[in-house]
Structures are given as C-alpha cells and as structure tokens.
C-alpha cells in the first residue's frame, strides 16, 4: 500500500446536514451555525465523518471544524453526475446529449473542487472518494469505467491523501477490478434491508457482502463506507414491517460490535434523516436512515448511546 495509506480507526458516520426546506438539488445549504450545532451533537459519538460532495455544504463543514478547532477527520467525496444514460435504472436515467455534456463538464469541475479542498485541508481530510454509486447497474448517475479510472488517476496525482471510490458491494466483485488497481483502498456499501433481509439475517448478510469483496483483494484494505437501517417505509423497496427504531438499534449495535472486533472502519449511514430525498411521500424509506430525526432528536440507538448504554 505504501506510506500514503494511513487510515484512522474509531466510530464513523456519514453526514449530510440538510434540514427541512434544504437540499443539494435546490442548492439550499445548511448554515455554518446549523452545521456547528450538528457537529456538537455528533462529537460525543464519533470523530470520523464522510461527506458526499464538494459543494458549499462541504466547504462550510471544513470551515467550522477549522474555525472551532473541532476534533473531526473527514472522508471527502466528489459527487459525479451521469455521463451516459442508463436504461437499467428502475426510476429512469435517460438524458439528452446536451445534459450529458453539461454533466461531464461539471464532473471535471467537481474533481477540481475535491483536489482543492483536499489540498487546503490536509490536516482534516484523511481520505478522498472519487464518486459514489456511479457504476452499479441501477444507478441514475452512471459513469463509464474508463472515465472513473481517468478521474482517479488525476486525483491521485494531485493529492497526498489515500484515494478510494464508494460503491455497492456487487460491482467490486467483477466490474471494478481494473479500478481497484488504481485505488489505495476499497469502500463498499451494504444494505441488507434493501435486499429484503430480516433483522435476523442482516448481520450475516453484511458479513457475506464484505467477505465477497475482501477475499478477492487480499492485499487491498476494504472499509464499509455505508451500512445502516431505515426506521420507516411506505413499502417502496423495503417492507414496512422490517423498519423501526428498535430494528435500527439492533442492527447498528451488531454491526459495530462485529466491525470493531474485526478492525473494519465502518461508516454508519446516516447521521440525520434527510427529508429532501425520494418522493414527496413522508414515509419514503430514503428519508429515514438517520440516527437522529431531522429535528435533531435522537432515535433509540443514539438515545441509548448518549445515555451510556
């Protein structure tokens, strides 16, 4: 791996701080004060956060950490938009040529922002992720593998931090073997509840997902960049009876006990509920993965953790 690879250990969370009326799509971002409030809430639990893009949200998070002298380290991500249409996406991912050309230019700009922020914040940003779920079969922001390799090489030439890519566990098993050679470590996602697993099957399924990738690349570190459990569902993709705060509590506790014992860096998805995601239906499962509700009230897992349980 070389001297570049120096990954921290400890509790880790994915962090997207958008509140009611805010969203990355609308480019309405949390204020610095709102981010400060969030980080103060998260500080008793963890020191490692994952950010998804290099928008104003990420800029403000890094600025608050620096200005307040907070003890956080960041996996900083670049969000890559669709560079080709994807007929296999269940909810539609067909784009005009003009839109795809715009996306390609914006992706280049995003990679530039990733490099700039990583270089300006070498003491805070411990790794960088070039894209998120942009190669899996069902994605609505598909990026061809040669283009992914090109972007990863560009980032590696321009930053000192370890470079990764965050993706569902399946593409790592076959499609991404050429990309693995370009990365410092692999970051995979595992969501048993999305694959109709009950809570009794969940941890074993996560362990199988992880092992299916790790055994293919014995000389390449593998981390879990997303794993979690939603607390509500309208039935779209997830059976409602498989969602609750109690089930989230059970899965996250089992996940962390296993990953701690195995020495696997694991980012729990997600710090806060995200009302901007998915359909207008308030019970959309995408909206309810947080360990805190959108009003920043803790759900059961975090209530027990903060109470010393």
pLDDT in tens, 200-222: 999 999 999 999 999 999 999 99
Distances in whole angstroms, Cα of residue 292 to Cα of each of 167, 202, 228: 24, 21, 13
**Rounded CA separation 81/84 (Å):** 9
CB 139 within 8 A of CB 85: no
- What is the reported pLDDT for 229? 98
pTM: 0.97
Distance CA 9, CA 154 (A): 27
- List C-alpha distances in Å: 216 to 5, 135, 181, 187, 221: 19, 18, 12, 14, 11
Q: What is the pLDDT of residue 3?
A: 37
Dist CA 156 CA 297 (whole Å): 39
For the chain, domains (ranges, CATH) are: 12-306 (3.20.20.80)
Beta-carbon contacts of residue 76 (< 8 Å; ≥ 6 apart): 51, 54, 58, 114, 117, 118, 121, 125, 127, 128, 129
Beta bridge partners of 188: 167, 224
Query: In the block, which residue shows the tokens 């380290």?
Result: 73
pLDDT tens-digit map of 66-114? 999 999 999 999 999 999 999 999 999 999 999 999 999 999 999 999 9
What is the pLDDT at residue 195?
Answer: 96
- Averaged pLDDT of the chain: 96
Position 308 scores a pLDDT of 85
Residue-wise burial string across 8-18, b where 16 or more C-beta atoms lie within 10 A, e elsewhere = eeebbbbbbbb
pLDDT for 45 beyond 60? yes
* pLDDT of 5: 73
CA dihedral 75, 81, 83, 89 (to 10 degrees): 100
Q: So what's the pLDDT on residue 6?
A: 73
Length of the chain: 309
309: tokens are 């349980």
The predicted model gives 33-41 an average pLDDT of 98
The span from the first CA to the last CA of the chain, in angstroms, equals 38
Q: Rounded to 5 degrees, what are φ and ψ at 154?
A: -60, -45
Structure confidence at residue 237 as a pLDDT band (50, 70, 90):
very high
- 163-182 residue pLDDT tens: 999 999 999 999 999 999 99
User: Does pLDDT of 4 surpass 70?
Assistant: no
């Amino acid at each position: 791996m070389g001297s570049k690879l120096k990954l921290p250990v400890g509790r880790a969370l994915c962090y997207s701080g958008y509140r009611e009326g805010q969203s990355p799509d609308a480019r309405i971002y949390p204020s610095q004060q709102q981010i400060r409030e969030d980080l103060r809430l998260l500080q008793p639990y963890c020191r490692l956060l994952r950010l998804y893009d290099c928008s104003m949200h990420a800029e403000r998070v890094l600025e608050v950490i620096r200005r307040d002298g907070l003890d956080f380290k960041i996996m900083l991500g670049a969000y890559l938009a669709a560079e080709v249409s994807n007929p296999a996406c269940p909810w539609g991912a067909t784009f005009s040529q003009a839109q795809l050309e715009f996306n390609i230019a914006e992706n280049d700009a995003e990679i530039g922002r990733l490099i700039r922020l990583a270089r300006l914040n070498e003491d805070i940003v411990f790794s960088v992720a070039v894209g998120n779920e942009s190669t899996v079969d069902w994605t609505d922001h598909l990026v061809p593998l040669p283009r992914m390799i090109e972007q990863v090489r560009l980032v590696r030439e321009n930053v000192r931090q370890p470079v990764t890519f965050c993706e569902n566990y399946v593409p790592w098993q076959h499609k991404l073997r050429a990309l693995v050679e370009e990365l410092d470590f692999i970051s995979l996602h595992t969501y048993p509840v999305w694959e109709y697993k009950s809570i009794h099957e969940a941890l074993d399924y996560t362990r199988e997902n992880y092992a299916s990738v790790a055994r293919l690349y014995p000389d390449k570190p593998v981390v879990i960049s997303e794993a979690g459990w939603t607390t509500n569902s309208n039935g779209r993709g997830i059976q409602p009876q498989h969602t609750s705060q109690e089930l989230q509590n059970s899965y996250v506790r089992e996940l962390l006990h296993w990953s701690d014992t195995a020495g696997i860096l694991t980012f729990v998805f997600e710090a806060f509920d995200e009302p901007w995601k998915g359909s207008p239906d308030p019970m959309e499962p995408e909206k309810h993965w947080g360990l805190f509700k959108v009003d920043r009230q803790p759900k059961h897992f975090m209530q027990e953790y903060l109470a010393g349980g």
